[in-house]
Amino acid sequence: MDDDGAAVILGIDPGTALTGYGVVARGRGGAVSLVECGVIRTSPSEPLAKRIREIYDGVMELIRRHRPVAVSVEEVFQGRNAQSALKLGHARGAILLAAAHAGVTIAEYAPAQIKNAVVGTGRATKEQVGFMVQQRLRLREAPSPADAADGVAAALCHAQMGSFPA
Amino acid sequence: MDDDGAAVILGIDPGTALTGYGVVARGRGGAVSLVECGVIRTSPSEPLAKRIREIYDGVMELIRRHRPVAVSVEEVFQGRNAQSALKLGHARGAILLAAAHAGVTIAEYAPAQIKNAVVGTGRATKEQVGFMVQQRLRLREAPSPADAADGVAAALCHAQMGSFPA
Residues of B in contact with A90 (CB under 8 A): 89-90, 92-93, 96
Return the pLDDT at B88: 92
- Condensed to tens digits (0 to 9), the pLDDT of residues B111-166 reads 999 999 999 999 999 999 999 999 999 999 999 999 999 999 999 999 999 988 76
Q: In the predicted model, what is the mean pLDDT of residues A1-10?
A: 79
Determine, for residues A92 and B89 on separate chains, whether the beta-carbon distance falls below 8 Å.
yes
Q: What number is the average pLDDT over the span B94-105?
A: 97
Of A38, A10, A7, A37, nearest to A25 (Cα)? Answer: A7
What are residue A67's DSSP bridge partners? none
Q: How confident is the model at residue B76 (pLDDT cuts 50, 70, 90)?
A: confident
What's the CA gap between A116 and A112, in Å, rounded?
6
Question: Is A81 a residue whose pLDDT tops 90?
Answer: no
Asked if the structure places residue A26 within a domain, the reply is yes
Are the C-beta atoms of residues B40 and B18 closer than 8 Å to each other? yes
Please determine, for residue A1, whether its predicted confidence score (pLDDT) is greater than 90.
no
**Is A150 among the catalytic positions?**
no
pLDDT of residue B28: 87
Give which of A31, A64, A56 is closest to A159, Cα–Cα.
A31
Question: For position B13, what pLDDT does the model report?
Answer: 96
Cβ neighbours of residue A14 closer than 8 Å, sequence gap 6 or more: A55, A73, A74, A76, A88, A91, A92, A95
Q: How confident is the model at residue A3 (pLDDT cuts 50, 70, 90)?
A: low
In a domain, A157, yes or no: yes
More confident residue, B142 or A75: B142
**Using CB atoms, which residue from A48, A89, A106 is nearest to B87?**
A89
Nearest to A93 among B47, B90, B101 (CB): B90
- State which residue of chain A sits closest to B105, comparing Cα positions: A49
Whether A99 sits inside 8 A of B49 (CB atoms) is yes
Specify whether the CB–CB gap between A12 and A59 falls below 8 A. yes
Residue B78 pLDDT > 70: no
For A56, the closest chain B residue by CA position comes to: B97
Query: Who among A86, A93, A106 is closest to B94 (CB)?
Result: A93
pLDDT at A2: 56
Indicate if the pLDDT at residue A158 is higher than 60. Answer: yes
Q: Domains in chain B: how many in total?
A: 1
Which CATH number covers residue A142?
Answer: 3.30.420.10
Please indicate, yes or no, if residue B22 is contained in any of the structural domains: yes
B35 pLDDT more than 80:
yes
pLDDT classification of B79: cutoffs 50, 70, 90: low
pLDDT of B2 reads: 56
Q: With respect to residue A112, please indicate whether it lies within any of the assigned structural domains.
A: yes
pLDDT in tens, B36-69: 999 999 999 999 999 999 999 999 999 999 999 9
Query: Which residue segment(s) compose the domain that B94 sits in?
Result: 7-161
pLDDT tens-digit map of A93-135: 999 999 999 999 999 999 999 999 999 999 999 999 999 999 9
Give CA separation, B38 vs A67, B11, B19, in Å: 38, 11, 9
**Spatial separation of the C-alpha atoms in residues B33 and B22, rounded to whole Å:** 11
pLDDT at A165 over 70: yes
**Residue B37 bridge partners (DSSP):** B22
* pLDDT value for B81: 84
Tell me, yes or no, whether B2 lies in a domain: no
For range A78-104, the mean pLDDT? 91
Locate all alpha helices (DSSP H) within chain A, ordered by sequence: 48-66, 82-102, 111-119, 126-136, 146-161
Contacts 24+ apart (CB under 8 A), A138-141: A138/A33, A139/A34
Question: Do the domain assignments include residue A166?
Answer: no
In the predicted model, is pLDDT for residue B77 greater than 90?
A: no
pLDDT above 70 (res A91): yes
At A28 the pLDDT is 87
* β-bridge mates for residue A39, sequence order: A20
- pLDDT averaged over chain A? 93
- Do the domain assignments include residue B1? no
- The pTM of the full predicted model, rounded to 2 decimals, is 0.91
Mean pLDDT within A62-72? 98
Residue A162 has pLDDT above 80, yes or no: yes
Within a domain: B90: yes
Q: How many angstroms away from the CA of B83 is the closest CA of chain A?
A: 7
Residues of A in contact with B48 (CB under 8 A): 96
For residue A75, pLDDT beyond 90:
no
Identified catalytic residue from B36, B74, B75, B150: B74
Residue range A43-64: mean pLDDT, rounded:
96
pLDDT number for residue B1: 54
Catalytic, B3? Answer no
Question: B81 and A82: CB-CB below 8 Å?
Answer: yes
CA distance B69 to B63: 9
